[in-house]
Amino acid sequence: MPKSTKKKKDKAADFSKAKLKLGKGKQLASNAVDTSYKARSIALPSQSIAQESQSDAPTTRRRLTFEDLISHLKHYNTSNRKDAIFGLRELLEGNPQLIRENLTSLINGCVRIIGDEDASVRKTLLAFLNWLLPRVPQDELQPHSPILLLFTTSALTHIFPEIRIDAIRFLNVFLECIPDIVTEGWTQNSTTHGRRVLDGYLGVLSAGTAYGHDGDTRPLQATSTASVILSPGSKVVVLKSLSSFLKYAISRENNNREASSIASSSSNTPTWFMRSSFSSSTAFETFNSLLQPSFTDLNIPSARQWAPEMDPTEDQFVGQFPLHPPSIMMRGVFKTLTSI
């Protein structure tokens, strides 16, 4: 009898709710294991446990090296990215030799924030590049021009219109430093730098509708990604930059055309490849006229028949000109050999 009563109580306990006393919660079992945990994050923006610190490396006032500042350009915090740009300028102004030594890593770190979503970071980077790029020789900057233009043209098609306008301002800096690279191939296919930049201008201005060429009757093809109306101030920025782009592009084409015509018409000494070293076409033409003097006014024949005896009346022409025709030079050599 007692056993049956105990079984009934056990069965009833399985389906009954335990009554708790007032002010007390459910007591844990004696063999319960606590699985809760707490986590804390430790930020070390200016330290590295993987690398040993270099005491002789140049640092800023905040004891940050060049490597530290480059790593801060990738920081998630906006203030840290902006402070890193300020630190780079401070470090490079005090140690200008670091520009040439670390130009590749410097440009690779800066181009990634050309399309930064924070306006203050973009403004700070624009001022920094406006200060940095004129201090880099053009022949050293040209190998880095593809990555500069790649990120800039990518920012020209950004979804946010303010980033597109700031990309135009970055193009203005590049047009001052490497105009030939920015405008290269602007009338050719879309794989060249100049063509991508021109398409970016048209896209920002909502003028990128491509019509058929040479009587082609294909349907219209909208190439513009702009879906907003620019303010008058933004339009002025874009149109001024486009005007500078076209000025450099047309001037480059005219120089190439003049160089090719000079190369085809010049028969004595080719000098067309030296045109880029002169500040203007007038200076180049003056140099070319001095380098290739005309002998028609001196009544000197362009070719003479060699004779074993020298004509004494012709000695007066030897040594009077900066560049002698081959016949005069050979007579001078023959005269020297016969006098030995």
The pLDDT value given to residue 311: 59
Query: Do the domain assignments include residue 331?
Result: yes
The radius of gyration computed from the CA coordinates of the chain, to the nearest angstrom, equals 38
The Cα–Cα gap between 179 and 172 comes to 9
User: What is the four-CA torsion angle of 148, 151, 156, 157, rounded to 10 degrees?
Assistant: 160
pLDDT tens digits along 50-89: 555 556 788 888 888 999 999 999 999 999 999 999 999 9
The pLDDT value given to residue 283: 77
H/E/C letters for each residue in 226-288? CCCCCCHHHHHHHHHHHHHHHHHHHHHHHHHHHHHHHHHHCCCCCCHHHHHHCCCHHHHHHHH
Domain count, the chain: 1
Stretch (H or E) spanning 44: none
Query: Do the domain assignments include residue 323?
Result: yes
Query: Do the domain assignments include residue 316?
Result: yes
Classify residue 167 by burial, with Cβ atoms within 10 Å: 0-12, 13-18, 19+.
buried
Query: Do the domain assignments include residue 309?
Result: yes
Query: Do the domain assignments include residue 299?
Result: yes
pLDDT tens digits along 90-141: 999 999 999 999 999 999 999 999 999 999 999 999 999 999 999 999 889 9
Residues paired with 222 in a beta bridge: 209
Query: Do the domain assignments include residue 111?
Result: no
Strands 209-210, 221-222: pairing kind = antiparallel
Low-confidence ranges of the chain (pLDDT < 70): 1-3, 12-21, 23, 43-55, 190, 207-228, 258-270, 291-340
Domain that holds residue 321: 293-340
The Cα–Cα gap between 170 and 126 comes to 6
Neighbours of 52 (CB within 10 A): 7
The pLDDT value given to residue 174: 94
The Cα–Cα gap between 87 and 59 comes to 9
**For residue 130, which amino acid is it?**
N
Residues paired with 209 in a beta bridge: 222
> Would you give the distance in Å from CA 172 to the centre of its chain?
12
Contact 255, 284 (CB under 8 A): no
Tokens at residue 91, please?
A: 């470090």
Tokens at residue 8, please?
A: 């009934």
The pLDDT value given to residue 316: 46
Query: Do the domain assignments include residue 82?
Result: no
First to last CA, the chain: 151
- pTM exceeds cut of 0.75: no
Contact 287, 271 (CB under 8 A): yes
